[in-house]
Chains A and B, each alone.
Chain A
């Protein structure tokens, strides 16, 4: 499943870039993070509980930064394993200046295999849409926080 969009953030590009490339701040953006561990600057791991029906779906997700061109572009791969599900996601974002603001074009290719992928097809799209909305809202807040801290 591919999802993509653009988001305008009320902060300079450098601020947005910093937020998006700081693992700790990234962790704060992700829904249901229970723990977060940085292995090195290109690899980190999160244990998350994705809200999916009764009880949620627990997953261990390994992130790897694939490519980056500061302060414009980065791509990331995430591989998650959990009971009855395997997650494979590649995501990228491109930042461009829009006056005082920053425009972020983003895309993600999400694949879920296993029984959850099999049974969840009908509900997956709305859940992904909902989570994307949550992430973008949290990003907005995080960027504002960083902007305020810097000003």
Chain B
């Protein structure tokens, strides 16, 4: 692996951050326990008398439930009980829907009620003495179905010939037009209009190492549930669950410890958890559910599938693109669980990395008989950014322009930062062209033509691809009001506490729910710098307990925002603690506060380091020896801070506003070789250049870049959730759904620049999602490689060997998708 670190400041923007431990690749505090197998996951939690739950799932994609007979299962020795949709309908209310009509009329219960709408939908649950017995007993539950016609294609779903939700009366969840600038004028004034009939972003997902699950306890005396789980956003989970369970939010205590990855998949676990809560109450015993891998594939959460229709791009003769319009059709599967938020989240990155000023997106979301979707690494923006990158490459190819030059000509320039997009978002900082140069340098762009000729001699078609992508971070929930003006969500917040204990231990609790991102490490780095100790002296408590960790309404780990909100909260709390420690020391020393500094885990006089009080001394004074303190000074050495990013309100009419605050850049470049006979694609060179502002811990950033790249390469070449016409998922296991192995991964060359964010507390931007840069990049390279073989247009985000082979054999079929009208 090659790491190229460019000059650390790529723009003139200033940051107030002084680097100490921040900026260093401090070894991750979490890794010792994890690599030694000492992590504690929800599945490690055991309770006396607990029962194990297995869900009875629909084999049909669409069917009416005629009857459910659980008697045989109940008769089995060791079976504690069952629950069906009928009971759920009595004891709970449907989850609230965020959409306007018709989507708002959808009734979504924790178990199927009356009808199943996707293969794998839970229709009942069985609880038994062992996990295996629960599974065997579930097989004895007799469910009689009356199969219904199935719709698995978004465009077909629009016709409403098969309607999933009778209450809604339509498959449309949400529809709206976003119109910024004047795209009609841009198209009228363009020298060329490039038209693309259809592009398709396929259905795939992340596959966390740890499947979903929970152990749920019910306290009959208080009516409270404790949910030991791996939910990644429990605050929002509780907002869904509590009203459905007809209880208060504080009666749902979520406890997480280590979590083995989530990627957004673990945001929408409320249906399963409600079933567990009902079972725990019904049976009077703790119940535990660990999702099977096949169930995770079949019915947990997929990423949004999106089809782009009737794209028209306005291009000037010099290659400047002035705007585009598109109809976007999003397929959210059977239920809009987190949706329709995906209908707006993409707008955080409306013009991608480019300076398009005129954009119209006619957006529709529909239900189909497939697994519901949930946020998935790069949620909703990835699909849109893939569109923008496809547009750029197709425009370049059709007009005979250099894709590198087209990008550089159209990129938002470093000197334009901060840059306001046509829909009111502000790109805070960045230098896309510089990142592209670095990426091209890493893959030896200047030798591409020689390598192309050499590969040709070996029967290989060589292509260069670029993926320019943004990772928008720090979500403004006000964007939901652009979908439904009645929603009372806006802004964002995150909490943390930092305290100094009686023995001088620095203890941090987070509002976030880390799943492997190294929050314990980076939080410790920030605190250490502020209060003058080492990260090892800072104990960041593992996991999250909603009863004991400080949290805010939007707490969680999602949307690439920990670097801003999570660490912003830590920084705020640590600064409050620092100020109080200094004041305390100044009283003890009898000197002004500005004569005291914190360093080496002590408060000491700046002018005389021998005069020092160790942290333990400060903690002891406040907690155990405070009688001598003046009456008007009541220190706690225990501080909570809520980081509330300032977005302002969104303009619901114009559909504009600051939808996110930070924009990390990822520019990927790769070289692929395609076997002319078989269509087999091999990535022979790959570079990823990241600019996430100040890197709190470069090694963790590097790890995120690697992970996001692997996800993207898996998606573009291997991973797809394919359904047959009956709605049967054909890739429900790791044999058919091939996640890239180490041997599938190219050697990654990485580079970085740092354009500090002028708005983020630490100058750091969230960057973990990666924006799908690898998908865009490999699609781009495949199209470049196919150029001499008929010039096929890459029209799908998923390009396994057989599709590439088809494009080789019949390039015209793809070229019919594109038309150029020149004036």
Contact = CB atoms under 8 A, between A and B. Distances in A.
B680 interface: no
B298 A113 contact: no
Given A121-B730, A122-B736, A113 B119 contact: yes
A114 B294 contact: no
Nearest to A86: B59
A118 B139 contact: no
Contacts of A148: none
Contacts of A85: 59
Interface string A64-108: 000000000000000000011110000000000000000000000
Contacts of A115: 59, 294, 298, 732
B300 to A, nearest CB: 14
B60 A118 contact: no
A2 interface: no
A111 interface: yes
Interface string B724-763: 1010111011011000000000000000000000000000
Given A83-B139, A86-B60, A113-B60, A118 B732 contact: yes
A113 B732 contact: no
Contacts of A122: 735-736
A126 to B, nearest CB: 16
Contacts of B729: 118
Interface in B98-129: 119
Interface size class of A (residues with CB under 8 A): 10 to 19
Contacts of A111: 726
B197 to A, nearest CB: 30
Contacts of B60: 86, 113
A114 B729 CA distance: 9
A118 B298 contact: yes
Contact of A84 (B59, B728, B733): B59
Nearest to A85: B59
* Most chain A CB within a 10 A radius of its CB, from B59, B298, B733: B59
Contacts of A149: none
Interface string B124-157: 0000000000000001000000000000000000
A119 B732 CA distance: 6
A119 B59 contact: no
Contacts of B59: 84-86, 113-115, 117
Nearest to A112: B728
A121 B60 CA distance: 16
B736 to A, nearest CB: 7
B736 A113 contact: no
A85 B139 CA distance: 11
Contacts of B726: 111, 113
Given A83-B139, A119-B733, A113 B294 contact: no
B302 to A, nearest CB: 14
Given A113-B119, A114-B59, A119 B294 contact: yes
Contacts of A84: 59, 139
Contacts of A113: 59-61, 119, 726, 728
Contacts of A83: 139
B736 A117 contact: no
Given A86-B59, A115-B59, A119-B735, 10 more contacts: A84-B139, A86-B60, A113-B726, A114-B119, A115-B294, A115-B732, A119-B732, A119-B736, A121-B730, A121-B736
Interface of B: 59-61, 119, 139, 294, 298, 724, 726, 728-730, 732-733, 735-736
21 contacts: A83-B139, A84-B59, A85-B59, A86-B59, A86-B60, A111-B726, A113-B59, A113-B61, A113-B726, A113-B728, A115-B59, A115-B732, A117-B728, A118-B298, A118-B728, A118-B732, A119-B732, A119-B733, A119-B735, A122-B735, A122-B736
